[in-house]
Structure 1
Amino acid sequence: MSDIIPPPEVIYVDAHKVACNGGGGALGHPLTYYDLGEDGTAECGYCDRKFVHKDHAHDYVDPAPRPEGDH
């Protein structure tokens, strides 16, 4: 069996500043804040969540697109 690491979670946001705690609970991490860059994205340094501003969503290509029914 191979160890496949799932792609990071992509979260589409309306703001240009975001906060991430990894989902909280036992699997969370310290609360961190990020400014979305000129490309409208930021990635959490702890959990690799990718934040994409809704105005740049058309520019971002998900590395692992899911079938239509899985959203």
Structure 2
Amino acid sequence: MEPPEIITVDREQVSCDGGKGALGHPLIFLNMEGKGQVDCPYCGRRFVLKQDAAAQ
């Protein structure tokens, strides 16, 4: 199953709140841990590290 949304980011550490204001979910922080991508366990958004971004 494909993620509902794919977001390209510059850092391995990201945060997600579902993006729907009060209809979203609690703010959580996610770490890619060198994998280059991470999925939000609440809403399924996939955060993908840009190819040219250095791991931070």
TM category, shorter: 0.7 to 0.9
Listed as ranges, the gaps of 5+ residues in structure 2 are none
Higher relative contact order (CA 8 A, sep 6+): 2
Aligned-residue Cα RMSD (Å) equals: 2.1
Which runs of structure 1 show a deviation greater than 2 angstroms over 4 or more consecutive aligned residues? none
Larger fraction in strand:
2
Listed as ranges, the gaps of 5+ residues in structure 1 are 1-5, 57-71
Instruction: Report percent identity of matched pairs.
Output: 49
Number of equivalenced pairs: 52
Output the TM-score relative to the length of structure 1: 0.63
Larger fraction in helix:
1
When Rg is computed on C-alpha atoms for both structures, the one with the higher figure is 1
